[in-house]
Chains A and B, each alone.
Chain A
Amino acid sequence: MNFDQPLLDLLGGAVGLLLTLLVFSYLLGDHILVRLIFYGYIGLMAGFSVVIAFNSVIYPLLFQPLIDNPVTGWVQVAVPLFLSGLLFLKLSPRLSRLGNLSLAFLVGVGLAALIGGAIQGTLVPQLSAAISPFDLERSAMAAEERLSGVVQGFLILFGTVTTLTYFHFGARPRASGSARRPEWIETLSWIGQIFIAIALGLVFAGLLKAGFVALVERIQTLVNFIITLQGGL
């Protein structure tokens, strides 16, 4: 059964227009149509995720080896299948303890990858980058640029130190029972708040920009659809 492509585009555009307007109506308040759209989106995503998981993981890693080589394929999939079976036992409250083995394996491997990557890819390089502007011997910049590099490095260092100081929440208790950080830490912390506010403002601006782009793209699609309809009519 063949559908006309312009008809499909028109039908898709109409559905898109309807759904977009219904989602926009959420600004005026919650109602059943918006909920239907949200439930439909969640269900669609769940179903799509299952399909993707089956197509990308379960079938090629579990069934494909057994299909290709039934004898040696069992050896290949035995351990993953056993651990997966244990993970299924988490559904039973009485046997869920047996699933902890698989869960421990998952958590351990995941954390090892995260921590190792964070140390190699973030902590060490970023600490080195914070120090490197003060290394004039190794700097490849020209002489006149070194001064600006040092100033920039100092600003980065100052911002880093004051921002980290803000997250120092330790304080000695006083006789009155209250706890307050030393004054010099309070001062640096106050300066650090400025840097944090600038960074958060930048993130918020980026978030707004992303939202504006999405809005503009949707409005443009709707306008194009309406123009198409006008042209068709």
Chain B
Amino acid sequence: METQRCPMCGRPNPPDVEVCQYCEARLKPLWAEPSEESSAAIEAGITKSKPALEPEEPLLPDWLIASREQLTGEEPSQPQEAEEEEFLLPPEEMEINNFLGELFSDVPAEEKEEDVPEWLQVLRNEKPPAPETSPTSAGSEQEESMPFWLGFESSEPEEALTESTSAQEKVSPFTGIPFEGIDFDTDFLSLGEKAQSEGEAQPDFQPSVSPFEGVEPFLLEEEGLPQSPSPEEVSLRAEETTPPPVEGDWMNEIPPWLETLPGQEWEESEAPEKEMPPEFLQGVVPPFVETEEELSEIEFPDWLTQVEGTIEPELEAVIDNLTPPTIEMLAEQEEGEGILPEEPEATPPHEDIPVEVVGPLHGLRGVLPAEPMVAEQKKPSKALSELLVTDKQRAQAELFLRIIAEEGKPKPIPTSRRARPHTLWRGLILLALVIAAVIGYLIYPFSTVPQELSVGVFDAMQAVNQLPAQASVLLIVDVEGSDFAEMQATTAGMLDQMMIKGAFFVLVSANQNGALQADRLLREVSRLNGHQYKPSSGWVNLGYLPGGAAGMQAFSQSITEVMPGTVEGEAAWKSERLKNIQTLSDFDLVVVITEDSTRARQWIEQLKGHVPASRLVFAVSAQVEPILRPYYEANPRQIQSVLAGIRDGAIYETQAARRGWAMQLWDAYTLVVMTGIALILIGSSVYTLLALLAWRKAKAEREGR
């Protein structure tokens, strides 16, 4: 498949595309008809008779080909006709390229005599051809062979040039736009005439050779306007070695007027270490100003000074603000913050600047420095890698390091001098409590009774007394084995009263031990009080209710579906005593027995709305009482009653005139409690006394010093 290769990136493209698919460079040059206004000015420097390029010929200007061949030492190729360039470049640039191609060509003058313009023949000390017919025609012929602005370089055709420029319209050679308000006779051309007539140096703004020498045609193509290379580009190219002089080359024969130009002085007085233009461009690179002083010495044309004077101060301020900070400014700023940046890295040496190996810029050094120089990975500057650490942050970091260091150090285990006394104290306390319990149980039984009737006990007794005969009572027993004694003492009197009334119990528990403890509780109460309560006839045990709060909620909503059977596997709700029970509200009383405050609160929350508060009684451990008091003392109440601990159980038994489990423990319990209180007071007093003694001792030591 036939392809066309991109002149910029070198990649193949289909033959029918006009723009490179990879770099979007134009593959087929555009051709635009020059306007009539600009055609006259353009034709002044164009040689029209240029053969077409061969298809395989690279799109290079003649001057670049010639200079490359000079560098490589090859035989100069036949001068290519620049007709193809007419398709590539605008007319203005073609004029420049033609001129530069002519300038760099090594073809003998005889071979292209007809193409050598008159001004060039003057430079070669050749006799220009005689004018043909009229000054006007001579002037027009001269315009065809050289740009008008170079006309004042030559000495002989001054008049013809002046006449031609004045005769025709003053048009910019670059844009084709006529100059307005500029008097060429007095501004531009008069300066050249004056300088040459007086034998003085040309004005500073006028370059020594040509303002477009050294400008690459592709740059001109991109910008559309003739540009001078930047000082950096000039310095880079100046390092190229100068091609060996060719004998008879006109460029080595510098005319006297050219020696006096500033550019020539620049070339000769250049310091050795100063960067030189590339080799193939030496001698053609115009001198450029490097300092502001030199710039100020340049005399600009009037129209340019007028334009410069029209810049408003506000615009200058905006430009100043847009100016990026210099390295010195950044260094001062960093120095003010206590951090100095590293010195900027120096420009790589000339040898490190790569040479283009492909494309139209083949052989040029440092032409496209973006990849190796700009995108080159550099060591990050110190200012970027260092943190801004304030004094406070530094102090905190030091403190943190000190803490870490101290954490790593092994710390000696403090010797506990009180370990042995603590063991002894524990033993003594246990002994005291055991003795109190034994004395209370054996020596002084039934010596004391609880005096007060608490409101909770009264309400509980009322709820039990209101139970009908053969009532059905739901007992929710969430008791662990360790608290069974207290819960038995708390509920024994109440359960005894219920058994007297012949209540039928339904047992359920939300913890796994509760069902077993519930069964044991009823057995113990029945045995202690002489009842004949047995499973099935006296109670059914529904067993363990799984699910926590969710299980409680489900149980509250549908008791028969959630707990359909007993622990023995029988149907719970088909017995004669429970056939009327469908919901929780069908029970005559619901008693929750628990020593867990969380479990008690969950039952209150989940039973709310399903059991009337008047039929809900809680028998809890003494440690749960503070949690349940708000529910009981609220207005309206959320529960009917709270029996808390052995005290309420003993009160209940006393009020019921029954000697149950609570009263059997009561005397020993009261004595143990008093012993415990005494031990707490004695221990607190001893430690307080020891602390006072230590304080006084320390105070005496301080006063003694």
Contact = CB atoms under 8 A, between A and B. Distances in A.
Interface of A: 24, 27-29, 45, 48-49, 52-53, 55-57, 60, 109-110, 112-114, 116-118, 120-122, 125-126, 128-129, 132-133, 139, 199, 202-203, 205-210, 212-220, 223
B430 interface: yes
Contacts of B442: 223
Contacts of B17: none
A134 B627 CA distance: 23
Nearest to A207: B623
Given A214-B483, A219-B441, A118 B605 contact: yes
22 contacts: A27-B427, A28-B427, A56-B543, A56-B544, A114-B602, A121-B606, A121-B638, A122-B605, A125-B638, A202-B625, A203-B626, A203-B627, A206-B622, A206-B623, A209-B622, A210-B622, A213-B646, A214-B482, A214-B483, A214-B486, A217-B486, A218-B485
Interface residues of B, number: 65
Task: Say whether chain B's binding surface is mostly helix, strand, loop, or mixed.
Answer: helix
A121 B83 CA distance: 100
Contacts of A109: 550
Contact of B634 (A55, A114, A125, A208): A125
A16 to B, nearest CB: 12
Contacts of A27: 423, 426-427, 430
Contacts of A202: 625-626
A140 to B, nearest CB: 9
A176 to B, nearest CB: 12
A160 to B, nearest CB: 10
A120 B605 contact: yes
Q: Which 8 A-B pairs have the closest CB atoms?
A: A121-B605, A117-B605, A129-B634, A206-B623, A217-B485, A206-B622, A219-B437, A56-B544
Contacts, number: 164
B550 A215 contact: no
B564 interface: yes
Contact of A203 (B438, B623, B672): B623
Given A28-B427, A212-B673, A113 B550 contact: yes
Interface in B521-546: 543-544, 546
A219 to B, nearest CB: 4
Contacts of B630: 126, 129
Contact of A48 (B513, B546, B548, B621): B513
A209 B673 contact: yes
A110 B565 contact: no
B609 interface: yes
A209 B441 contact: no
B565 A60 contact: yes
Given A117-B549, A117-B553, 20 more contacts: A49-B512, A113-B553, A121-B605, A129-B633, A129-B634, A203-B627, A205-B622, A206-B622, A206-B645, A208-B673, A208-B676, A209-B486, A210-B621, A210-B622, A212-B669, A212-B672, A215-B433, A215-B672, A217-B665, A223-B441
A120 B441 contact: no
Contacts of B567: 55-56
Interface in B207-258: none
B621 A206 contact: yes
B693 interface: no
A17 to B, nearest CB: 13
B624 interface: yes
B607 to A, nearest CB: 8
Contact of A206 (B440, B548, B624): B624
Query: Which of B423, B485, B630, B635 lies at the interface centre, i.e. has the most chain A CB atoms within 10 A of its CB?
Result: B635
Contacts of A45: 513
B498 interface: no
Contacts of A132: 634-635
A109 B550 CA distance: 7
A114 B638 contact: no
Nearest to B392: A177
Contacts of A53: 512, 544, 546
B298 to A, nearest CB: 61
Nearest to B635: A132
B608 interface: yes
A120 B646 CA distance: 31
B669 A213 contact: yes
A106 to B, nearest CB: 8
Given A203-B623, A216-B668, A113 B544 contact: no
A214 B668 CA distance: 11
B317 to A, nearest CB: 40
B601 interface: yes
A129 B633 CA distance: 9
B515 A129 contact: no
B146 interface: no
Contacts of B512: 48-49, 52-53
B619 interface: no
Nearest to A122: B605
B88 interface: no
Interface string B148-160: 0000000000000
Contacts of A216: 437, 440-441, 485, 665, 668-669, 672
B166 interface: no
A206 B485 CA distance: 14
B434 interface: yes
Nearest to B435: A219
Contacts of A48: 512-513, 516
Interface in B598-651: 601-602, 604-606, 608-609, 621-627, 630-631, 633-635, 638, 644-647
Given A49-B512, A129-B635, A217-B485, A210 B645 contact: yes
A147 to B, nearest CB: 16
Contacts of A208: 673, 676
A110 B664 CA distance: 42
B506 to A, nearest CB: 15
Contacts of A209: 486, 622-623, 645-647, 673
Contacts of A206: 621-626, 644-645
B595 interface: yes
A52 B546 CA distance: 10
Task: Tell me which of A29, A52, A218 has the highest count of chain B C-beta atoms within 10 A of its own C-beta.
Answer: A52
Contacts of A203: 623, 626-627
B500 to A, nearest CB: 24
B474 interface: no
Contacts of A220: 437, 441, 664-665, 668
B589 interface: no
Contacts of A217: 485-486, 489, 665
Contacts of B515: 52, 56
Nearest to A131: B635
Nearest to A60: B565
B485 A214 contact: yes
Which one of A28, A56, A126, A203 has the highest number of Cβ atoms from chain B below 10 Å of its Cβ?
A56
A213 to B, nearest CB: 4
Nearest to A227: B442
A18 B82 CA distance: 121
Nearest to B548: A110
Contact of B549 (A113, A212, A219): A113
A225 to B, nearest CB: 13
B634 A210 contact: no
Nearest to B441: A220
A207 B595 CA distance: 10
A97 to B, nearest CB: 24
A199 B437 contact: no
A227 B270 CA distance: 127
